[in-house]
Amino acid sequence: MKNIIIASTSTLHEGSYLEYLLPELKVLFEHCKTVLFIPYARPSGISHEEYTAKVALAFAKINKEIKGIHEFEYAEKAINTAEGIFTGGGNTFLLVSQLYKNNIMSVLAENIKKGTPYLGTSAGSNICGLTMQTTNDMPIIYPPSFQTLGLIPFNINAHYLDADLQSKHMGETRETRIKEFHEFNSVPVLGLREGSWLVVNGEEISLKGNLSARLFRQNQNPVEIEIGADLSYLK
């Protein structure tokens, strides 16, 4: 049975890395001594080692040890033997490219679907959807496919921002970008605002956190999804 947290962000302005999620992570990884970390998204280009060390400091607060997937000779074996898995944020194009390069996209999906506890933040959340096509990231590298883990029956737009009506910025809003996606794709898209996350237990999907989410569907007006709402009907 799937046991997943899909969070828009790892860090809120008023807290340290993963701080706001630690009570949830203590429950998610309750039966894990060690959590496998996938640092492939490399925010700001930091090394796998630097990223893993940062994550280890946060998880130490809930008495969990972190092992980076890059520390293993065989990435597939690391996933197959993992007690729990966390994929961090950064660039989704880079993350997806590396998952395919290491031949572990399907392996990762299979293990999570079988019940390995999983946390995704930002890019690590984007890959939980059907495709990565609703990421906000620049295409700094070309992945072999946009198809991702398919753990939920819709796509995620992490760090969703509402239009600022007072802004003089003339560029496209996030809502406009998602509407452009729906000109060519029918996959629903959930805009996750900062500080909110999805909890997936088996086939049940619920919204948690402080802010509502915004659901976009092809040829329909977007709707607000309130905290506590069940999104399982989207399957």
Give mean pLDDT, residues 139-149.
Answer: 98
- Specify the CATH superfamily of domain 3-234: Class I glutamine amidotransferase (GATase) domain (3.40.50.880)
The predicted structure's pLDDT at residue 16: 94
Q: What is the pLDDT of residue 163?
A: 74
Whether residue 134 is predicted with pLDDT greater than 80 in this model: the reply is: yes
pLDDT at 165 over 70: no
Could you confirm whether 122 is annotated as catalytic?
A: yes
Q: Who's near 110: CB < 8 A, 6+ residues apart? A: none
pLDDT one-digit tens code per residue, 5-33: 999 999 987 789 999 999 999 999 999 99
Report domain extents, the chain: 3-234
Spatial CA neighbour of 189 closest among 128, 109, 117, 113: 128
Task: Give the whole-angstrom CA distance, residue 66 versus residue 94.
Answer: 21
Active site residue 162: no
Average pLDDT (140-155) is 98
Rounded to whole angstroms, the Cα distance separating 105 from 108 reads 5
Q: Which of 47, 43, 217, 14 is nearest to 136 (CA)?
A: 43
47 has catalytic annotation? no
Q: What are the tens digits of pLDDT across the range 181-231?
A: 999 999 999 999 999 999 999 999 999 999 999 999 999 999 999 999 999
pLDDT of res. 182: 98
**If you average pLDDT over every residue of the chain, what do you get?**
95
The model carries a pTM of 0.96
Q: Which of 106, 159, 182, 232 is catalytic?
A: 159
Q: How confident is the model at residue 167 (pLDDT cuts 50, 70, 90)?
A: low
Q: Which residues contact 217 (CB under 8 A, 6 or more apart)?
A: 182, 188, 189
Predicted pLDDT of residue 171: 65
Q: Point out the catalytic residue in the list 10, 97, 122, 125.
A: 122
